[in-house]
Each structure stands twice: as structure tokens, then as C-alpha cells.
Amino acid sequence: MLFRQEAKELCLETDGTSFRLPQIDLPANTRVAENCNEAALRRWGMATVCLLTRTVSQAGNTIRCIVMEASPSGSATPAGLCWTPVGALEAAAFADPLDFSFFSGQCNQAPDSDPTLGLFAKPGSFRTIAEWVEVQAGRAGLRLTGEFRQLNCGPRFSLIRFATDGPALWFKAVGEPNLAEFRVTAELARLFPSYLPRILGTRPEWNAWLAEEAGGTNLDRRFGLDNGRAAVKALAELQVASLGQGLHLLDAGCRDARVCRLRDAIEPFLAVMGALMAQQTANPPAPLSRDELRKLGDQIYAALTVLEDSEIQNALGHLDLNPANILVHENRCTFLDWAEAFVGHPFLALPYLLEHLRRVPAFERTWEKDLVEAYANTWRLYFDEEKVRSALRVAALLAAFTYAVLLSARNPSRQSYRAETAKLLRSLARRMKREAEAPRERRAVCVP
């Protein structure tokens, strides 16, 4: 549903006698907002922004709709379409009753009159964002060119790239369940400016910030051993710089993955896994028995003791440390998207990166030891070499456990889980068992 004039007019397909809502076919697993805007520009020559998506079932049919708005420079009337006053639309005017049913049942409640919607779902919200961005850019000596690329949209979240006469600027706003990302990102950028994009401005009431585009290439697009070494070395250096900041970073919104927190979570986690294993219907893979879970709990406890004995303090970590979130540029690495930041033993972050790197086509498994060596070398400058080695050996087991604990913590009642979440938790438990029982020399985080 494409609006203009503060949602007073709707753009419809017409054959001269009836109306239809326009349709856009999108490739699977792509960004909806970005692809809808590109399709509108390609098909209709119209610059648009997206406000929100909605899915409604009508008469056994599932309708997926995206609400869009023509930008001020893109309100032309393409061939085969017409702009129609919203107040003049009646059911008889539509060729398909479902189109009118969806329009009347959904659009008239939104996006302007629904008080539950956030700013970014309301008509005119893009103009409000752009005006604020323009002010922040001007303070930094930059001028917007008018070109933009919207990657994500929603009532309370947004991701838009604005072109300037210098470096591009990224506007990002976050909503539930990632509200903490706003405070975490702002604080990390203040504390560790060498490792995060430069922030030009923040808007707390929007949970939004504006950052200068960091130079470099995403690690997943141009992966090689040298870039990989640079990334793990930068990760270690960032974590070393964060030593002693643990409590402050927890206050800023980072997740709590300290050893004391993880140890307290062992018994509740095993109780949850016992129930979830009992609910498993598929076999294979075989569910873990109560005895296997009890043994796994002992192995996790022992591994946590190894981390504690390493005497390496709590530091900053990242639970979504995938190569797409790392920019490599000459001798600098920039880390993005801190929604999954945590405070805990620093070595818990490395297995997440290695797990993602194994899926990069250019990655060679023989490089893994080199990457671990590059990461460990930084820590050997400050801590006992054998303790660093021992802690790295248990990191993969405890990284899986940490992820599972924090995932299950999102369901405080722990009475029921969605089928997908239950399946993932069972898979993580089996992964932990494999890591705990793997021969020392074949563990996922290989130690040279």
C-alpha cells in the first residue's frame, strides 16, 4: 500500500473500471524494505520509503503487505497506476474483495491514527529523520546529496544510509528486543573509538544514533588469512582495552555472561534441557538422557573452573561476531552491530567468529590454528601462557553453553518454548556434549 500526501492518497493499479493493490515479487531471504524501494524505482520510476510490514489472514489466504510512502521527490503517477483519495474508496471499486478488506481493516487503523505504532511507521517519518540527519551532518561539515538507501523498517526501528559530499552516514534506531543496543553502542563508541564507527549524534527518545560509515571491506566479502589475522588481533586488543570496565559495561546494557552467572545457570539449564529432550519426537538425532545431561553439567562446571583459574578478568564480548559485522581496512578493524554484546570471559567471543568463518567459501580449515595463534599472542603478553592455552581449550564448549543460557533467559517462565527455539536448544546441548568429549587436539578452538 503506497501512500502520499500524509496518507490521504493511495496508489492503486487500475484498468479504468476497478482497482487493485499493486504487487511486488521479492527474492527469498532478502531485505524487504530495500528490495521494495528498488522495485518501485525500477518499475514505476518512483522514489519511496517503507513504513512497516503486516501479515493478515483473510478467507484462508495469507496476505503480506508492506506500507510505503512516496518520497517528496517521487510522487509522479506511473502508467497503469493512479492516486486515489483514501476517503473515496469503497468495496465496489476493488476487483478483489480481499484488497478492500485488507485496506479497510488495516490501513484505516494505521499508520496515522494507531497510537501503538512508533514514529517510524507514521507518514512523514522519513522527512523527520532526514531533517535531523541533515543537522547532524552539517555540524560535522558534511552535506547530504539527497541519495539514500533504506535497508530496514518497522514501527520502532530503522536502518538508512544517507549519501553525503564526504563519507556516507548511517542512521539506526532500535526497538524491542534490542533496546539495549542504543546505550551499548553509544558507550562503546565513546570508550573505544578506534574499534567502532564514529557517532555524530544520538536521539535517545528514538533509541537512535547517526554514525559515519567506516572504511574497509566486510570480512566475509574479502576473506583471506591476513585479514582474518587482523580481525582476531583487533578483537583481542579491543577486549584487553575493556578489562576493568565490566561492571560499567553491564550497566550500559551488555548481557551478563560472567563465570559466576554461568555457574548459577547450570542446574536451571539442565532442568530445562531434561524437559525439552523428553519432548523430542524425532530420532535421530537421539535425545540426551538424564545421565548424559548430568555428566554434561559436571563438564561445564569443570570448564568454568578452568576459565576462573586463568585469572583473566571479565571483558567485552560479542555473541553475533560474524564476518559481516567486521570491517577490515589497512591496519584497522571496525566492529558493528552490538545488540549481542556481553561481559564475561573474553575467550568466549572467539568461537562465534570461528564458527562463522568456517562457512565462508574462501576459508581454509588449516587456517584455524593460525587465527587462534594470532588471537592468543595478544593475551600471552599479559597472562600466563599455559593458562591462556587451557582457557582456549574450553572456550568452544562454554561459548555454546553461554549462547544457550542467554537464549533460554529470554523466556523467563521457562514453561514452554517455540518449536524452533526448543530444537535449537537441544542442538546446542548436543554440540556441548561433542565439544566436551572431543579429543584434546581436535577441539573446535584449536590451540597451537
Pairing relationship of beta strands 2-4 and 61-70 according to DSSP bridges: parallel
| H helices present in 243-289, as ranges | 246-252, 259-279
For 168-198, b/e burial (b = at least 16 CB within 10 A) is: bbbbbbbbeebebbbbbbbbbbebbeebbbe
Specify burial of residue 389 (Cβ count, 10 A radius: 0-12, 13-18, 19+).
middle
Which distant-in-sequence residues (6+ apart) come within 8 Å of 357 by Cβ?
Answer: 223, 228, 323, 363, 371
Residue 448 has pLDDT above 50, yes or no: no
Give the pLDDT band (50/70/90) at residue 334.
Answer: very high
Give the pLDDT band (50/70/90) at residue 116.
Answer: low
Q: How far apart are CA 402 and CA 389, in angstroms?
A: 20
Q: What pLDDT is stored for residue 88 in this prediction?
A: 87
pLDDT in tens, 177-234: 899 999 999 999 999 999 999 999 999 999 999 999 998 999 988 788 999 999 999 9
Amino acid at 353: L
Torsion of CA 398, 399, 401, 405, to 10 degrees: 130
Domains of the chain: 2-114 (3.90.79.10), 124-212 (3.30.200), 217-442 (3.90.1200.10)
pLDDT in tens, 129-162: 999 999 999 999 999 999 999 999 988 999 999 9
**pTM, 2 dp:** 0.89
Q: How far apart are CA 135 and CA 237, in angstroms?
A: 34
Largest CA distance in the chain: 80
- List, as one string, the DSSP characters of 113-127: S-TTS-GGGSTTHHH
Q: What pLDDT is stored for residue 27 in this prediction?
A: 82
For the chain, how far is it from start to end, CA to CA, in angstroms? 58
**Can you read off the three cell numbers belonging to residue 371?**
587465527
Q: What pLDDT is stored for residue 112 in this prediction?
A: 47
Q: How far apart are CA 363 and CA 45, in angstroms?
A: 41
Residue 164 has pLDDT above 80, yes or no: yes
pLDDT in tens, 24-38: 888 888 889 999 999
pLDDT in tens, 388-441: 999 999 999 999 999 999 988 876 555 578 888 999 999 999 999 999 998 765
Amino acid at 186: A
Q: How far apart are CA 236 and CA 321, in angstroms?
A: 13
Specify burial of residue 274 (Cβ count, 10 A radius: 0-12, 13-18, 19+).
middle
Q: Give the CA count within 13 Å in the CB-facing half-sphere of 184.
A: 25
